[in-house]
Structure 1
């Protein structure tokens, strides 16, 4: 349990017309066996991976024995977005990153689940990019997810998000130090001015000319550069702008008529990346249509990254679903 496994997928058709003959899909399983307990799919964010719990687990405070998503009660499955490099094999990195969309990844995840003999999910949950992929999975199979839980994301990329993806892509393709420099910019999207003020208060490093905020950003740039590969970062960044790319008002109306899913939106009041008004607008637009939809908002100064920080609030919102 928790070891990295592989599913070999073949003959994958992509939204933009390209065809993949062979695609390895890497995943981990935590908690109960897949056919002995309800299945919860956890989708990782841009720089995340399938290691949701355990050593280096990025959602240890939320998922585990006796925690909000209880591994003694549920089977937890987490796929790696193909090309994210978590398997450590450079031959599996995707070079033609613009061939893929978030909808392609959602379809690939469904194929992976079907290979495991799983046709229905108790829940699909993810933050940021992972939440966008959860939305795409729900649109693809509106009767196969009981609880869809998109956290700090939206069902369709906005102009603001698309613009920032372009800036990131330009840095990644033109900088002499691409991962490091792109991460500097990205961290300013993931946090808020208030969060940085609380953390650093415009103070300098001891015996140095650098401000603490400068050292902190450089640290995150170096850290990501040491564990992430350029083709992987290009792909993950690109996928953000494709969330909901083929979805429309008609898609929503069809989905709302056909789905059996309960939609649990979770926004963050200080999120500058996926702004909370997007989720609030979605909720108010669809709450009286018969769609089972709810909206919760994390109160935090920490911006987009609050979904990785404010575990107590997030756990409180999720507890009624998983209890």
Structure 2
């Protein structure tokens, strides 16, 4: 496995704006044999660090651990002894790829909000250019979850001849109004923080990084309170009612767990609940590793994505893809719902795609695709090895495959029941 960066040179974004240098951080695992390349697209605040790296203590790009380390690796569902796995950090992020925290070579200062607007399409185009640099033409598969699943869908409409198989996990063709609203409030939390300063809050230490990228805010400046609130909203969106009831309920966090500073005078009278402690802890960790401007840019890209843009419908957008598409959804996920995934599957069927929609029963909510490797891994492994015809668990509705199709009951698996 290797960790590297590549300078793709001048890059023009879909907005029409350009930057003189786009540096992309990426990781590769396994050996390329010409037809075994698998591209993995990360979720909103993920990085290229998809699998474990024992040689680096498994700490890369500011993240404590590989975000899909139980799914990708030797002997895992996405087996790096068989497949050449590539994962690239997307433009606009702060994990090594050029983004708002990066140094503008023309000014010597961080871009801040002078960085061009970023779209999911820009991510796909940058990935295509990276693969060209690596000598990878047609992909055996492209796989991604959440907004990474949107990235997968964009591959199918933008480069349909470059993909043999695809898996879009816990995703949809677009966000619904409720999620758009929550993202709006999260961004307002950042931009209303007095330390946001119009997006130009970086200290000197942040611009003196490898390739002009920063792994986080400097800890002393920037809209840390706003970013913390934005991340807390995100965590609420990623969990389900059932998972929150199971993990926290209304329980007090205990006398040994105290707030550093009560948020209001009356708070000292009331219990500091486990759910509050969890959200505060997650926020504290996040502001230490992520950039507020990147959060603004990446949520904008996710909110903007609409599979049908430029086409008459989702069906028309997918019509040119002649490979196989696997959709995975989770019953308690209200960020990207089962119904949204099924609507996407219907559009794919209308386009005569070979498609399967696999529904997993889970209490975890949207986070299920990250924390349930035992349910996510087997369908992905089967797709890579044998395509949809070899999947151990088949479609919720009939596939357009020429092979016989069968139906199945959703997988009944929950970590909370173990």
Of 221, 224, 236 in structure 1, the residue corresponding to residue 286 of structure 2 is 224
Cα deviation, residue 224, structure 1? 0.2
TM-score by length of 1: 0.93
Kept in 2, the 8 Å contact 1:44–1:127? The answer is: yes
Q: Distance in 2 between matches of 1:247 and 1:35?
A: 35
Distance 1:253 1:193, change over 3 A: closer
Distance 1:274 1:253, change over 3 A: closer
Q: Distance in 1 between matches of 2:11 and 2:231?
A: 31
- SS for the counterpart of 1:250 is coil
Of 50, 53, 56 in structure 1, the residue corresponding to residue 51 of structure 2 is 53
Kept in 2, the 8 Å contact 1:165–1:240? The answer is: no
Match of 2:2 in 1: 2
Match of 1:25 in 2: 24
Distance 1:219 1:134, change over 3 A: same
Cα deviation, residue 143, structure 1? 1.3
Kept in 1, the 8 Å contact 2:91–2:97? The answer is: no
- SS for the counterpart of 1:10 is coil
Q: Distance in 1 between matches of 2:128 and 2:78?
A: 21
Cα deviation, residue 155, structure 1? 2.2
* Residue deviations 1:131-158 (CA, integer Å, cap 9, x gap): 1111112211111111111111112233
Distance 1:253 1:277, change over 3 A: closer
The aligned runs of 1:1-323 (5 Å cut-off) are 1-3=1-3, 5-32=4-31, 34-35=32-33, 38-54=36-52, 55=58, 56-87=65-96, 90-91=101-102, 95-96=112-113, 99-175=117-193, 177-207=225-255, 209-244=271-306, 247=309, 250=312, 252-323=314-385
Kindly name which structure, 1 or 2, has the bigger radius of gyration based on alpha carbons. 2
- SS for the counterpart of 2:363 is coil
Q: Distance in 1 between matches of 2:331 and 2:179?
A: 17
- SS for the counterpart of 1:28 is strand
TM-score by length of 2: 0.72
* CA RMSD across the alignment: 2.0
Runs of 5+ consecutive residues of structure 1 not aligned to the other structure: none
Q: Distance in 2 between matches of 1:154 and 1:61?
A: 24
* Runs of at least 4 residues off by over 6 Å: none
Runs of 5+ consecutive residues of structure 2 not aligned to the other structure: 53-57, 59-64, 104-109, 195-224, 259-270, 386-418
More strand by share: 1
Kept in 2, the 8 Å contact 1:142–1:255? The answer is: no
Aligned residues: 321
Kept in 1, the 8 Å contact 2:314–2:344? The answer is: no
- SS for the counterpart of 1:166 is helix
Higher relative contact order (CA 8 A, sep 6+): 1
Cα deviation, residue 80, structure 1? 0.4
Distance 1:282 1:91, change over 3 A: closer
